């Protein structure tokens, strides 16, 4: 099985998708002791791994590329030696995302380069400017997918194989178009328990937010392998 964790913000603020620095440190340590953590680029290999059902694999991702990732995530992943992938909207580099009741700062190019220099951080597309993909007409949708991929390749020197739908929002048409440009794309909440019936353009991630207590988080980590025991028989 493969559990792909999805964070947004690590910060001591009251933002729903923020976890505090101390909680993040604990959670990442627990993930590390319960799973083999791989890079997102290794996903393809592990999906077709002969021991897929027995393997306990985790991947750690962040959405939006918030500046707090640079200040509060980079030191922790360096200490724990955990690779991550950050899904970022390339048109918003160094700018702000406005959401109801707050504005969030996206990291600038200097921070991005420093994160890449750690050798632990890869960047991938989160849409050009964080618009909901289902709100775009066909021409804009294709432009958004294609251009954001080209920018991720050009600015970041990445392969550009992965996409995370802004707000986990997609439909059949969006997924079809995404398949023209990307190898994998991420949608809603869940864990990959099956390597045969997966939808490569709607892969699940475990979305972490403030409401997940330390107790609940540890229980969840224990439950993931427990849940698939019956499945293994
Ligand atoms: Zn987002």
Q: What is the CATH number of the domain that holds 106?
A: 3.20.20.370
Cα–ligand 1 centroid distance for 231 (angstroms): 33
| Mean pLDDT of the residues in the chain | 93
Cα–ligand 1 centroid distance for 92 (angstroms): 11
Query: What integer is the mean pLDDT of 214-223?
Result: 88
Q: Is residue 21 part of a domain?
A: yes
d(CA 213, CA 47): 30
Cα–ligand 1 centroid distance for 51 (angstroms): 33
Cα–ligand 1 centroid distance for 71 (angstroms): 19
d(CA 135, CA 173): 11
Q: Is residue 231 part of a domain?
A: no
The total number of structural domains in the chain stands at: 1
Cα–ligand 1 centroid distance for 89 (angstroms): 8
> Do 229 and 223 meet the contact criterion of CB atoms below 8 Å apart?
no
Q: Is residue 227 part of a domain?
A: no
Model pTM greater than 0.85? Answer: yes
Strands (DSSP E) found in 47-140 = 57-63, 84-88, 96-99, 102-105, 121-125
Q: Is residue 230 part of a domain?
A: no
Q: Is residue 54 part of a domain?
A: yes
The tokens describing 147, both together, are 């251009």
Task: Assign 233 a pLDDT band (cuts: 50, 70, 90).
Answer: very low
Cα–ligand 1 centroid distance for 50 (angstroms): 33
Q: How remote is the C-alpha of 37 from its chain's centroid?
A: 13
Q: Is residue 233 part of a domain?
A: no
Cα–ligand 1 centroid distance for 70 (angstroms): 17
Q: Look at residue 139 and tell me whether its pLDDT is greater than 90.
A: yes
Cα–ligand 1 centroid distance for 66 (angstroms): 10
Query: What integer is the mean pLDDT of 108-133?
Result: 97
Which residue range(s) make up the domain with 158?
Answer: 2-222
Write out pLDDT tens, residues 149-201.
999 999 999 999 999 999 999 999 999 999 999 999 999 888 888 888 889 99
Cα–ligand 1 centroid distance for 60 (angstroms): 15
pLDDT on residue 96? 92
């Amino acid at each position: 099985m493969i559990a792909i964790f999805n964070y947004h913000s690590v910060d001591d603020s009251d933002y729903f998708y923020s976890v505090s620095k101390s909680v993040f440190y604990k959670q990442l340590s627990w993930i590390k002791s319960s799973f083999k953590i791989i890079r997102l680029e290794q996903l393809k290999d592990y999906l077709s791994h002969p021991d897929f059902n027995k393997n306990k694999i985790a991947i750690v991702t962040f959405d939006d590329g918030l500046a707090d990732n640079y200040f509060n995530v980079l030191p922790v992943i360096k200490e724990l030696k955990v690779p991550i992938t950050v899904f970022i909207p390339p048109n918003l580099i160094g700018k702000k995302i406005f959401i109801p009741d707050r504005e969030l700062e996206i990291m600038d190019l200097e921070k991005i380069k420093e994160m890449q220099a750690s050798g632990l951080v890869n960047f991938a597309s989160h849409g050009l400017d964080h618009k909901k993909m289902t709100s775009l007409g066909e021409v804009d949708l294709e432009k958004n997918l294609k251009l954001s991929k080209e920018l991720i390749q050009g600015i970041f020197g990445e392969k550009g194989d992965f996409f995370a739908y802004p707000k986990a929002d997609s439909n059949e048409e969006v997924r079809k178009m995404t398949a023209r440009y990307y190898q994998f794309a991420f949608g809603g909440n869940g864990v990959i328990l099956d390597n045969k019936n997966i939808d490569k353009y709607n892969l699940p991630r475990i979305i972490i937010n403030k409401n997940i207590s330390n107790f609940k988080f540890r229980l969840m980590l224990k439950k993931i392998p427990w849940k698939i025991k019956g499945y293994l028989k």
